[in-house]
Amino acid sequence: MSSREKILSLIKQNQPEYKELTVQFKFDTVYENNFEKFAEILSFVGGKAIAVNSYEEIKADIQAHYKGVTNIASTVKELADLADFSLNVSDPHELETLNLAIIEGEFGVAENGAIWVSEKQLPHRVLPMITQYLVIIIKKSEIVTNMHRAYERVKVDETGFGTFISGPSKTADIEQSLVIGAHGARGLTVYVIQ
Amino acid sequence: MNTPIKDHATASGEFNKDEDYVNWHDETLWFVRSKRDKAVFQIPEWEQLREAGSQIKNHGLSNMHDLLVQFEEKATQNGIKVHWAADGKEHNEIVLSILKKQGVTRMVKSKSMLTEECHLNDFLKEKGIEVIDSDLGERIVQMRNEPPSHIVLPAIHLKKADVGETFHIHLGTEKGATDPQYLTEAARQHLRDTFLTRKVALTGVNFAIAETGGFVVCTNEGNADMGTHLADVHIASMGFEKIIPKAEHLSVFLRLLARSATGQPITTFSSHFHKPREGQEMHIILVDNGRTTQLGRPDFRNSLKCIRCAACMNTCPVYRRSGGFSYHSAVAGPIGSILAPNLDMAKNADLPFASTLCGSCSNVCPVKIDIHDQLYKWRQVLVQDGHVSKVKAVGINSMATVLNSPKFFRTAGKLGRFFMKNAPFLVNNSMNPWYNQREMPEPPKKSFRDWYIREKGL
């Protein structure tokens, strides 16, 4: 008997009697202002949310903050002229020298500052992790309250890969001291556009 | 790891020799527990959320067979190769065969307690395969030739100076450096090179979704993503109990997990894998290794609901003061102590006794595992099956005699108070294990019973 058959037959034999799932598992969360909550939590997890009215504003802000920075890639067509780095590469290893990636997020989650991005937004799965700094743009109308609402929007298998990103990469593995910039991006700025 | 295993009490005794260090360890973990409380208090429906997590897992255990079959079918449709491993050895052989097929001798691995349980690193090392753990804490302990001492915070037993010294030896950082920022940066550079050059990446699995045939991996560092998205082959190893029925159930678990673990609202990355990248291979290894046996034990099966948040460890007064290594098991602390006897009763018979049964573990568990009840129940099983030392058995038996006779109990209490008051050296000596590392309390003047009779009458 193969291990598969062996394991499955043992499970069938040993699993408890079938138990229907009847419990409530979705809950409502109400915030006065989803954006403000999102911004507060994002700042708590080491990121920064900035409310803007236009792509022009975003462009100006990025130019001010990342003055002199090269190796910038953008998947956002409105900000294409900020980019000097083409994402049109076949091998993701070529993204290794990327300093700043500008991408769009599908929506944000107020309770934990997370943003859903999937292969719909990402030409390369590794893009938001391999870049030194990350900028994500979401629409202000696209911030849901909590994770229950989030999963009502996400079809997890719509693409091969998707992730919730909440803040820049971090670690506290050395004596519980928080360090931003473990392996992924060292900084995350989220522009929330009206 | 062929050094003889010390039992929990002996190892804790050694851990407790350095009082300042124990206090530091205790406080560090309590700090994490306090962060958990703060995060939990943000959610008014927290208790209902725990109930939901618990019920989804109960439902999952009761339908495990069908969920796994469904998962396998969907994952296969998604282009993922599904493997089944009856035990740790078979799991390790599967990993090795994938590596061999690729013709590689190096692999990068993000956190997976299952591979610790299976001793994958040791196995691969023997076969000439180099494994680099990419989680910072795991990398630190790996360099030191130690196992992780905690399932979420692998290097929690180390001080900055220890890490500085380790990195000085292995990464050439400045001698005496203790700045976490500087040390983390050194690890970042070192591991970036690893990510860029490894063709096979192995990850653990936090949740696997039967409905869609995909799985979720949560990290703060982004190391699982860096490894897998740059590798030609992704291997994901999971105990089969990680399965959940539907994607929408993830909302419950992702709300519970990081809050319970570190007090974060969610981990930095909660990555959902459903299909291999173009040109990439993706494998999932479903591992039993004793889990089917545990599933068949009505008193202990719900330990399989565990989502590995480690809240029970951070809150445990015994774990905090004895350290992860004293549990001599891949998963330490209260949850480890109810999982380990299932794997090997004789070897882990000491662990269910490494508890005060205070119940704090059960109270913080996000999926409501009755951990302290199970610790108590394991004790019954272990004593009945003869896995407990003679000394402990004699002690328990004489305790039973005293507690069974009210008269005997009263006399014993009186004698105890008399001697503690008039001849304290009789109890305050090294013959009494309760006296080690602590002062004996002042004996009360009278028993509760005496007080009650005087105040309230019989």
For chain B, the domains span: 43-289, 390-456
- By the 10 Å C-beta count (0-12 exposed, 13-18 middle, 19+ buried), B5 is classed as middle
Q: Which two tokens stand for residue B5?
A: 């295993």
Class of domain B43-289: alpha beta
Q: Do A170 and B292 touch (CB under 8 A)?
A: no
Note whether residue A7 is domain-resident: no
A 35-94 residues inside an 8 A Cβ radius of B:
41, 44-45, 92-93
Note whether residue A12 is domain-resident: no
Evaluate whether B208 touches A170 at the Cβ level (below 8 Å).
Answer: no
Evaluate whether A131 touches A164 at the Cβ level (below 8 Å).
Answer: no
Judge whether A184 is closer than 8 Å to chain B, CB to CB: yes
Show pLDDT as tens, one digit a residue, over chain B (458 residues). 445 789 999 999 999 999 999 999 999 999 999 999 999 999 999 999 999 999 999 999 999 999 999 999 999 999 999 999 999 999 999 999 999 999 999 999 999 999 999 999 999 999 999 999 999 999 999 999 999 999 999 999 999 999 999 999 999 999 999 999 999 999 999 999 999 999 999 999 999 999 999 999 999 999 999 999 999 999 999 999 999 999 999 999 999 999 999 999 999 999 999 999 999 999 999 999 999 999 999 999 999 999 999 999 999 999 999 999 999 999 999 999 999 999 999 999 999 999 999 999 999 999 999 999 999 999 999 999 999 887 777 877 888 888 888 888 888 888 888 888 888 877 777 777 777 767 777 888 888 888 998 888 87
Size of interface A-B (CB pairs under 8 A): 259
Nearest CA in chain A to B189: A183
A155: CATH? 3.40.50.10420
Of B367, B360, B251, the closest CA to residue B306 belongs to B367
Note whether residue A5 is domain-resident: no
For the segment A125-162, what is each residue's pLDDT rounded down to a tens digit? 999 999 999 999 999 999 999 999 999 999 999 999 99
∠ at Cα B314 (B311, B317), nearest 5°?
125
Note whether residue A111 is domain-resident: yes
Q: Do A129 and B65 touch (CB under 8 A)?
A: no
How many structural domains does chain A have? 1
pLDDT of residue B20: 96
Q: Is the pTM of this model over 0.80?
A: yes
Task: Look up the ipTM and state it.
Answer: 0.98
Burial letters for B73-104: b for 16+ Cβ neighbours within 10 Å, e otherwise?
Answer: ebbeebebebbbbbebebbbebbeebbeeeeb
Q: Provide, as residue numbers in chain A, all residues whose Cβ is less than 8 Å from the Cβ of B153.
A: 172-173, 176
